[in-house]
Amino acid sequence: METLTAEEAAQLLRPNVKRIQSLAREGKLPASRVGRKWLFRRTDLDRMLATDHPASVAAEPFAALSARNHLLGRITNLRVEGIMAEVEIDIGGQKLVSVITSSSAVRITLEVWKKVYAIMKSTEVLIGRGPVE
């Protein structure tokens, strides 16, 4: 059984270390406290990511993409009107909203409850689907 520190869990899941510790303290992230340190089972985190691939692969699904901030989440609301689509994503209990073209939403087959990646670069948030299903 592989055990990860809070720093390693943050690297895997992508939020900062303080957020990982806060989620563990609130019971929203499976962890054990040993002294002053939080420890996380890799299998629990892999299960949370809900992928058949190892978490290290799931964490970097777009190796050829210049943006490095990839957050895995689930679509909770999708509103397509005219040429634009509003995509609401739940990422670890946090809501993120992105507005993309409706043709992009159709092309990547977005649907409520599908898993997607929010990819941030500068002031933009792109939506992508990778090996998460």
The domain 69-128 having CATH identifier 2.40.50.100: the answer here is yes
Please, which residues have CB within 8 angstroms of residue 12's CB and are 6 or more apart in sequence?
4, 45, 55, 56, 59
pLDDT at residue 80 above 90? yes
Query: Which residue type occupies 32?
Result: S
> How do residues 33-75 score in pLDDT, each as one tens digit?
888 899 998 888 877 776 434 333 344 555 566 666 778 889 9
SS3 62: coil
What's the whole-model pTM score?
0.48
